Structures are given as structure tokens and as C-alpha cells.
Amino acid sequence: MSGVLDHVMMRVEDLETSLEWYTTHLNYEEKGRWEADTFTNVYLGPEEMHEEGATLELTYNHDGRTYEMGDAWGHIAVRVPEGELEDHYEQLMDEGVEDYRDPESCGGRYAFVTDPDGHEVEIVQRDPDLPTWSLDHTMIRVEDADEALGFWTRKFEYEYTRRWESDTFANYFMKPAGASEAAMTVELTYNYDGRSYTMGDAWGHLCVRAEDLHDYWETLMEREADDYRDPAACDDRYAFTRDQDGHEIEILEP
């Protein structure tokens, strides 16, 4: 299905340490790997994955660089069965994962841990039929909610599946119309105080699947998406656009 989120990419400073963390604590396994002269990409996910499930891409640059987290990107979220949040969080604590925000501090509805690079990982409760630890959503912060909602609606034909509006911020969860419960959503977080954000470089991009890369790209261009890196610039294997805040979005034909 075109439009479904395929993966989310994060940069890591020690690939082996990151791989050990995700395979040990989230029971992820390697789904694919790309070795280039200057970098390595590794794709991870649970053993059992729905066909519309998303993977986590870890990018390791071989030159030993460090990264700035920034605050324009927030976190990834992974699923555990409804009613098992406390048990899974305690398991992570027993395994030595950092106690960042426990379920009690989050009203018993979710919790947070951090990986070795400081990327925040939210733990959310979902349908027991969905694979445990599978990717549920990726949160990005936006400076104008109307523009962000319009971008995902017009460019990618997304719709919001749920929303949360509080006194100081709003969250909008979006994915393509007709996508399954297993598909990862993008969470748009809008703070009402008019703040701006720094992108940093520890987070890389979201990736959207296309049944036909060139047809999908042509449609995006007709809808006035940012012509950031077109298919020809990427050896006709993928392409990149950007949203109104500068978040990079890869288009990939699996």
C-alpha cells in the first residue's frame, strides 16, 4: 500500500552498542543491512511483523562523529499489550535500562526509556494482537499545526486517527486512510506558546512507501511538495522531500 510509513531513521555513535540494546531489550532482530564505504545502515524490528509494520533504521557513520539531539524530533513509541505496561517496564529496569519516566509518573498510561544515544523511546499499550515492541508512532514537533495537518493531508492523503488537546499543547496522530492498526503513525506535536525548534542531526528522517517511486514523486510535485532530492539524484532508488518545518521524508519503492 502506497503511503504507509516504512521506517524511521536515527543516527547512532556506536553501532554495536545500539544493536545490543535493541536486540536485548526490545527483542529486535536484524531485517536488513547496507554497508557503504563511509556508513552502515541496519534495519531492525520484532521477529513477527505485519506487512504494514515499520522498521527502525540505525545509521552509523564510520568517521566517529557525534550528534546533537535538537528538539524538533521527539521520540519513537513501541507497543506492549494492554494491561502489561508495568510488567514490561519492570523487565526493562531489571535488565539495567535507564529509569527515565516510569508508568506512575505518566498516569499509568505510558512510560519512557532512553537508548544508549539518548533517543527517547515511549512504551504505549495497544491491542494484544499487535507484535510486542513493534513501532507504534514517531513524534515530531511542528511550529504551525494547521500547516502541518495540511501538509500530511494534501501531500500524502493522511488523516488523523486520534487527537489529544490539552491546555498547552495538542497531539495529532496521522496515517493513510485505510492503513491497518499495525501501520506506524506520525504524531504531530504542537505547543501553543509559539516556540521554535532546532533540528539537530541525531534523528534522520521518516520514510514513506510507494508502489511506484516515479509516479508517487510526480504526484508529490503536482501537490507542490519540496523537491529536495528527486529520484534521479538518488540513482532512481528513492527520493526525499521535506515538510514545512524541514523534517526530511524519504520516498522508497520497496
Is the per-residue pLDDT at 150 higher than 90? yes
> Per-domain residue ranges for the chain?
5-205
Averaged pLDDT, 46-60: 96
- Please report the pLDDT score of residue 99 as a whole number: 87
Burial pattern 117-127, b for ≥16 Cβ within 10 A else e, equals: bebbbbbbbbe
Q: What is the mean pLDDT of residues 156-161?
A: 95
Catalytic residues: 122
pTM, two decimals, is 0.96
For the segment(s) 5-205, the CATH number from 3.10.180.10, 1.20.1250.20, 3.30.460.10, 3.40.50.720 is 3.10.180.10
- Tell me the mean pLDDT in the region 6-14: 98
Residue 107, sorted as left (phi over 0), alpha (psi -120 to 50) or beta, turns out to be: left
* pLDDT attached to residue 2: 87
Read off the pLDDT of residues 125-138 as tens digits, 9 standing for 90 and up. 999 999 999 999 99
Mean pLDDT score across all residues of the chain: 97
Measuring CA to CA, which residue among 222, 215, 224 is closest to residue 242?
Answer: 224
Closest CA to 66 of 11, 110, 10: 11
